[in-house]
Each structure stands twice: as C-alpha cells, then as structure tokens.
Amino acid sequence: MATDITVPSLGESVSEGTIAEWLKQPGDAVAVDEPIVSVETDKVTVEVPSPVAGVIGELKAEEGDTIEVGAVIASVEEGGAPAAKGDEAGRAKQQSDAAPKDKGNEQDSVPNSTGEVSGTDFDAAALSPAVRRAVLEHGIDPANVKGTGKDGRLTKEDVLAAAKAKRDAPAPSQAEDAPVPAPAASGARNEERVKMTRLRQTIAKRLKSAQDTAALLTTFNDVDMTAVIETREKYKDSFAKKHGIKLGFMSFFAKAAHLALKDVPSVNAQIDGDEIVYHDYVDVSVAVSAPNGLVVPVVRDVDKKSFAQIELDIADFGKRAKDGSLTMDDMKGGTFTISNGGVFGSLMSTPIINPPQSAVLGLHRIEDRAVVVDGEIVVRPMMYIALSYDHRLIDGREAVTALKIIKEAIEDPARILIDL
C-alpha cells in the first residue's frame, strides 16, 4: 500500500516552501521518521520525515520547485524491498558481465581526479544539483572527497576545497615524448547564474523594507576591552570546567545590553501601527552565519539567564545553523539584535535593524590602539560598537545613552553584577 508524503505545516504565516534537496530517491529504503526531503522556507530549512517504513515510490516534485503546505510531493510503498536489490540486482550484474567491456558501456559517469570522465561506484544521484555542477566544472572525483555535510553528504564547499588542493598540488613530471596539452584559451570570462534561495530572497526583502520604512540612524562609540579580556583569562578554565562551555564575549554584551534596555525602554520597543509596544523582557536575536545566509535565532529571557546559559544557547544555535536544524520557533520573536561582524574582521559598520525591532547593536574586531588614559598615551585593546535605531521611535539622546551604558558595563563588568 502506498502512503502519500505531504508538505507539513512550515510555521505560522508560512504557506509554501521550495524543494531544496531530495535525500532519498525512488527505490531507496526508508525507515519511520527518516528524512526524505529538505524544504527551504523563508527562514529555515525543514526536513520532512517519512511517516512509514518502506521504499520510496514516485517523486512528484523536483528540486527547486515551489510547493504549498499540504501538497503531495512523494509516496512510500509500505513494507516493500528496495529496487535494484535481490533478483533485480543479480540480473543487472549478469547483463553487465555479458556486455562487452569497452568504452561504449553506458554507466553513470563523473569526473576523476585528472578531470577525465570515468565510471565509478559513487552514488552520483545523492549529489545535489549545485554539487554535481561543481564536480563537473572542476573535474573532481566525488568518491575521493570526504563529505562534511549532514550524514557525510558532499557539499559544494567540499568540492571547491578539493579543487583548490588539486590546483595547488605540484604538477607531475612528464616524459619527454609525452604529448603536450594544448594551452587553455586565455582571457576566458565565465559567468554563472544561480537562482536566489528563498532565505536569501527574504533577507533581501526584509532589509530593503527596513530601509524603506524605518528612519535609520547609527551612533558609534568605542570600548576598552581590557577588563573583559582579563576577566575571561582569569576565569576561563574554571568556567569551562563547571559549565562545559567557553566564556565568550557575547554573554558580556548580552548582559550589558539588558542593563541598557531596562534603563532606556524605547530601545527594546517596537512600532505596531500607531501604537508603541514596550516589552518588560529581553529576548536577544543573535545574528548567526549559516550556509545559506544570515539567520537570527533568539536567546530568550536574557535578563533572567546566567552567563553560562547564554553561552550554551548561542553555541547550540551556531551548531544547528550549520547543520540546518534550526526551527521556526527558534527564529520567532526577539526584541533586540546583536550582530558580531568582528568575527569576520570588520572594523566598523552600520548594521540594519531586524524588523519589527527598533534597534540593533553591531560589534566589531578588537585591535590594539593608542588611547589617552589619565593624561598618558597607552595601548589598549579597543572595539568600535555601533547602535543602529529607528529614529521614529528612539531619539538621539536615548540611543546615545543606551550605547554609553553598554560601553560602561563592558569596561567595568562589576556594573553587570551589581545592576548599575
């Protein structure tokens, strides 16, 4: 008996998605609750599991197709045996043995390590379209590349890394009578068109909407990171031993932001029509880099959580963002955003708010700079911080005050402990 696989609910206000990748192909065996397809929505990628055990039947949508919630996208034959096994596999082998072993044999082919196309027992059907394109373009044998994706699947980055290693490897010596390959055409100018993912399209729309709707303004300050760096160095070993997580900068800034948002409530508020919504809690959206773009999962109740719990939450979000297991609930809500461009080397930026929020804190790289302290020039580890805000709701005085509170709390972390 065949069981239809339908698109499940993808979250509040989400009515459709895009087939990102088929994890199973017709004839593949599947267990109960085993993922068979990943569906990309405006915010996250969701894996759809099989409700029954059996064999994958017909796929009714292709990768890249837009599908609505509730639509039938595949079927599973319950209790069946995988195709191309048992008698069918034996017959296939006999036919293969009987066929003449020459270059005319038809078989799935992929490029080998020399860039030539040759037969392989690697499952080329398991590769996503982007990976297959990269394999063919760079002449890489996927059987010789270790996959770093989920369940060991090959990613485009794996292929590009293998291609770079191949280019950097010393060329093998050639015999004097070996034919010299014709030189590649010089001045080649290649282009590639890739359809924007739904996530990237949504990011583009939301950021442009923020610019079109909000009255954006950014205020800057710089922070002496000496005290936080010394605190981390002093307690890092005991902190990691007790809590099982490293003490990072983000927990300090999250706690410092809580002090600022409590004293300047408008920075933690949002505009809803002709009303202002104030929040008596602090849910911080943390910008995390994922393979398909920037996502902002929410660390909830920062005002009530310890440094350790904040660090554990952020580490968990980072891990799940990489393997694509963030859920819609992880992304919902948020009253304030912290974006750390410093991990990528950014010295200064003007971050864009995350609607409907009204403010975002931008962190940047730490670098030694000469500053004047008590009338003397000293070298200190300094960081520029930026607060972008919606001027429709937040006045300049309030924004500057909030950023100053964050600066003072970071330069003197004791303020966080005594709620000053």
Q: In this predicted structure, what is the pLDDT of residue 16?
A: 74
Q: Would you state the pLDDT for residue 94?
A: 45
Residue 389, beta-bridge partner list? 217, 359
Cα gap 139→136, rounded to integer Å = 5
What are the E-state strand segments in 125-228? 216-224
Q: Which CATH architecture has domain 216-417?
A: 2-Layer Sandwich (3.30)
Strands (E), 183-251: 216-224
pLDDT at 85: 41
pLDDT in tens, 119-132: 334 455 456 656 76
Which two tokens mark 260? 């600022």
Instruction: Give the confidence band of 313 by pLDDT, cuts at 50, 70, 90.
Output: very high
Q: Indicate the pTM of the whole model.
A: 0.62
Stretch 198-222: mean pLDDT, rounded? 83
Average pLDDT, the chain: 80
Mean pLDDT across 156-173: 72
Q: What was the pLDDT predicted at 130?
A: 65
Angle of CA points 24, 25, 27, to nearest 5°: 115
Query: What pLDDT band is residue 87 in, cutting at 50, 70 and 90?
Result: very low
| Residue 42 pLDDT class (50, 70, 90 cuts) | low
Confidence bin at 369 (pLDDT 50/70/90): very high
For the chain, the domains span: 2-78, 110-168, 216-417
For residues 174 and 113, the model is more confident at 174
Confidence of residue 144 (pLDDT cuts 50, 70, 90): confident
For residues 1-15, give the mean pLDDT. 72
* pLDDT exceeds 60 at position 298: yes
pLDDT reading at 163 higher than 70: yes
218: confidence class by pLDDT, cuts 50, 70, 90: very high
CATH 2.40.50.100 fits 2-78, yes or no: yes
pLDDT surpasses 70 at 151 = no
Count CA atoms closer than 13 A to 238's CA, side-chain side.
5
pLDDT, tens only, 172-209: 554 445 555 565 566 778 888 887 776 677 777 777 87
More confident residue, 228 or 123: 228
Assess whether pLDDT exceeds 90 at residue 261.
yes
How many angstroms separate the CA atoms of 119 and 107, rounded? Answer: 7
From 4, 44, 54, 51, select the one nearest 20 (Cα to Cα). 44
Enter the tokens of residue 193: 């068109």
The answer on pLDDT for 293 being more than 60 is: yes
CB 126 within 8 A of CB 142: no
Q: Which residues are catalytic?
A: 391, 395
Question: Stretch 201-227: mean pLDDT, rounded?
Answer: 87
The number of helix segments (H) and strand segments (E) in the chain equals: 10, 21
* Residue whose structure tokens are 């975002």: 360
CATH number of 110-168: 4.10.320.10
SS3 state at 45: strand
Residues constituting the chain:
420
Residue 365 has pLDDT above 90, yes or no: yes
Q: How many CA atoms lie within 13 A of 105 on its CB side?
A: 15
